[in-house]
Amino acid sequence: MKPQRRQGPDLGAWISDERLGQVLNQFKNKKISVLGDVGIDRYTQGTVERISPEAPVPIVLVQSENLKLGLAANVADNVHALSGRADVCGIIGQDEDARDLVKMLKHQGVKTTNLVVDKKRRTILKERIVAETQQMLRVDFETVAPIAKETHARIKRKALVSARFGDAVIIEDYAKGMFSEELIEAVVQVAKKRKVPVLVDPHVKTPVEWYQNVTLLTPNKKEAEALCGFRILNSQDLKKAGDWIIKKTKAQSLVITLGKDGMAVFLGEGRPPFTIPTYAQEVYDVSGAGDTVISVLAMGLASGANLIESAFIANLAAGVEVSKRGTATVSISEIFEAYHRWA
């Protein structure tokens, strides 16, 4: 049964079938530098049939365990799934989780030479315990102490090497201490000299002024509210928030993802945003949708598409990703299928 189309402009008003094919065909072998904290998502799946006699908590009888690439590593995995070539730069420990992470990245063809090993830190692991389809608990394993100056110096050197690799640079900021204002400024300067775009997934704990002169910022609605300091309740608030963020960062453009309401694309301060409606058949799990969005945006811009075209393709991809369980990737063929499903 063909799903009911959302209200909104025809898909051809955003991008034609022919143009979509042209852009997606250019995705192949595009090189994307992904900078950010890396880690592993572990999904422990089981069933609940009784409550513990020791405490009023459910007992999960484990049936399976599954490891997936997480944080910025998931962004790199998304690039690989889109037929691109990803280089990931982040900090790992010297532990079993680091070995698992590097093994998974290499299996996906992701370049790992710009990972920095810090023996005093543990590799980030996020474990989700799921019973049937219900997440019962999430357990985070990570080092919360500040990153050493020597490690910062090493990560800056590696980040600049990575930035020279890509047709686009993605900064995935999780506010875990990897980034500094100086590092981001240096990366932007390298990218500008090479005339490649810098896309930033910002974090609300990072001073917004750190993201100066980037090509594109991609906060979700909640993050945009935190960055600008007021709630977004209507279209006027949305424009005000977008203008404030662009003015504060001097970013060339901005995409605010709006969940079920799609995304708003700002092409500069003072200009009204383009609002692209959601094309999602079914929403199962929104985790990882932002990773998919920024990956497709980077691939689109690196492939010569303009921001509106890239944002529309990213929106289609996000609609596919949220229909999957947990953090997931989206392929080029799935984007084509989504386009023709709604056309």
Q: How far apart are alpha carbons 276 and 91 in whole angstroms?
A: 36
Q: Measured between alpha carbons, how far is 113 from 98 in angstroms, rounded to an integer?
A: 13
29 burial via Cβ count (<10 Å: 0-12, 13-18, 19+): exposed
Residue 54: CB atoms within 10 Å: 7
Which two three-digit tokens encode residue 193? 């000299």
Pairing of strands 168-172, 134-141: unpaired
- Torsion over CA: 81, 82, 83, 86 (sign): negative
Q: Which of 41, 97, 243, 291 is catalytic?
A: 291
Residue 291: active-site member: yes
Provide the H-helix boundaries in the chain.
11-14, 17-25, 72-81, 96-107, 149-163, 181-194, 221-228, 235-249, 289-302, 307-321, 332-342
Query: Hey, what amino acid is at 134?
Result: Q
Pairing type for strands 168-172 and 31-36 reads: parallel
Under the phi-then-psi rule, with left for phi > 0, alpha for psi from -120 to 50, and beta for the rest, what region is 337?
Answer: alpha
Helix%, strand%, coil% for the chain, nearest 5: 40, 25, 35
- What are the residue numbers of the active site? 291
